[in-house]
Amino acid sequence: MERIGIIDLGSNSIRLIIIDIKENGAHHQIENLKETVRLRSGTDAQGVLTKEGMDSAVEIVSLFVRFCRARKVTHIMAVATAAVRRAPNQKELVDAIWEQTGVTIEVLSSEEEAHLGYIGLVNSVTETAGLMAEIGGGALKLVGFENRLPQNSITLDFGAVSLMETYHLNDLPTSENLDALEKFLDETFAQIPWLPEYPRLMGLGGTCRSLARVYRRHVQYVPDVTHGIIIPTEAVGEIYTMLKGMDLRERHQVPGLEQARADLSVAGIGIIYRLLQAINGSELMVCASSLRDGLFYKYTYPRDPILFNVLTHHTHNLIDYHNLDENHLRRVSNLAVILFDQLASLHGLGSYERRLLLIAGLLHELGVVISVESLEKHTLYTVLNSPLVGLTHRERVLAAFLAASHDGFFQGSLQNYVTHGPIDAHDIDRIKKLAPLLQIAHSLDRSRTGVVTHLQATITAGNCELKVFGNQKRDLEIRDALRQAEAFRKEYGMNLTILQG
């Protein structure tokens, strides 16, 4: 087992994540700490770091390094971004941290910082094209990509902290200052000719995550997951309008708004909203990835840090990290898909649902990491809340309820995801149609020995005959699968018979 720590000295905060990497390469983040240390605040026109800011940064980094050693971290990486990069006295800070901790701070160039953010993004979404916007305290990184390859990139010398200070937006802003901010942003974005080529905006950074929390609370959105949430441009505008009409005390009362970011919220969300307008974007996708993820992938896969398939990687990572029975999960998934294909004329579903069934088959026992008691409830929770990136929120909810239904339709709070979430009533019908197929497939590998190798389904008037083939006796599997006959009849209106082939 290897345990790495990544320290990120940003313009607004200093962060530490700790990640375990097992011998099989499976990884899992076990710590995520943050301290607000505004290195950007109080700097002069040349960006000189104040003694107070540097002393605070040294103290926090020292604390994080001691924490890493207490947690038996085997390797520490530490980087600094915009505020340190532009400071003429950056060496003083870097040297002070080295003397106190023995850790070397790598000061990233603007190009390196943007590229690491891009690596983190493309390894956490399945979108192949779009505009990445990473909003820091002192810089805004924009990367336009196509076919998962970066095409255009620029780092702008302002962020949420610097704009807040420049236009005095920390408390109730004046209309003159708001007009000046918006005019500056509009003119800046208009000078970047390639921006409108990427109308799909994906936002990274604390401002975007904070916006997502406010939005979720505002509309009572479920699931309570930040990564991958879609926020319409109109909603971004409404939240921006609401916040810019408040003083700091009122912003502190806004549900979901992080206290430490209340003063930054107008400037940060203003950047997002004017950028959406500049590219004529209809929505923002919030991504929880960061340059820290980019650093992790560069460290783990130095030859090529870009994952070949995002969903496959993260699905297998969950299975491997939790030591689940991968052979059983694959057999169930494959049998379910074979059954789906052979019953196509019966269910009338397509490739979208087939993919969901395959994913649910691989994840249908993820809840055992909590307990085998009430497994369906734990499976629903773990699929909804695990670091399973590569699925839209709609896909995640459907896969979670389907995986939880492997031994009977699990309705739980499903209707709430229709009322306040990303699915609709037709999606419930999809789950109901797919659930019996997953249940039968699970039963056909009940002994976990792979005795059933193939299926043959024949549909006649009022009956579905399923022959199961294999090289060993299959009595246990057939008996268990027949328990699902009633669910099959209820959904498809025909009897199910299962025979040895």
CB 194 within 8 A of CB 154: no
Say whether pLDDT at 483 is over 90.
yes
Say whether pLDDT at 44 is over 80.
no
Write out pLDDT tens, residues 156-199.
Answer: 999 999 999 999 999 999 999 999 999 999 999 999 999 999 99
Distance CA 123, CA 313 (A): 9
Write out pLDDT tens, residues 242-280.
Answer: 999 999 999 999 999 999 999 999 999 999 999 999 999
DSSP 8-state symbol, 390: S
Write out pLDDT tens, residues 50-73.
Answer: 999 999 999 999 999 999 999 999
Distance CA 379, CA 361 (A): 12
Give start-end residues of each CATH 3.30.420.40 domain in the chain. 2-103
In CATH, what class is 111-292? alpha beta
Say whether pLDDT at 47 is over 90.
no
CB 92 within 8 A of CB 22: no
DSSP 8-state symbol, 48: P
For residue 422, say if its preceding peptide bond is cis, omega within 30 degrees of 0: no
Mean pLDDT to the nearest integer, 438-445? 97
Mean pLDDT to the nearest integer, 367-382? 96
Identify the CA nearest to 94 among candidates 108, 80, 111: 80
Give start-end residues of each CATH 3.30.420.150 domain in the chain. 111-292
- Which band of pLDDT confidence, cut at 50, 70 and 90, is reported for residue 376? very high
Q: Which CATH architecture has domain 311-500?
A: Orthogonal Bundle (1.10)
Say whether pLDDT at 45 is over 80.
no
Q: Report the SS3 class of residue 260.
A: helix
Share of the chain above pLDDT 90, in %: 95
β-pair type (463-469, 454-460): antiparallel
Cα of 145 vs its chain's centroid, Å: 19
Q: Which of 405-409, 415-419, 436-440 has the lowest mean pLDDT?
A: 405-409
Q: What is the pLDDT of residue 42?
A: 65
CATH topology of domain 2-103: Nucleotidyltransferase; domain 5 (3.30.420)
- Which band of pLDDT confidence, cut at 50, 70 and 90, is reported for residue 413? very high
φ, ψ dihedrals at 62, nearest 5°: -60, -40
Residue 221 identity: Y
Alpha helices, DSSP H only, in 245-365? 248-251, 265-278, 291-300, 310-321, 326-342, 344-347, 351-363
Distance CA 259, CA 248 (A): 10
Q: What is the pLDDT of residue 501?
A: 83
CA within 13 Å, CB half, 2: 13
CB 298 within 8 A of CB 305: yes
Listing from the earlier edge strand, what are the strands of the sheet with 283-286? 149-156, 140-146, 130-135, 201-204, 283-286, 230-232
Mean pLDDT to the nearest integer, 380-389? 94
CB 162 within 8 A of CB 138: yes
Q: What is the pLDDT of residue 348?
A: 96
Neighbours of 316 (CB within 10 A): 16
Give start-end residues of each CATH 1.10.3210.10 domain in the chain. 311-500
Mean pLDDT to the nearest integer, 138-147? 96
Cα of 59 vs its chain's centroid, Å: 31
If you average pLDDT over every residue of the chain, what do you get? 96
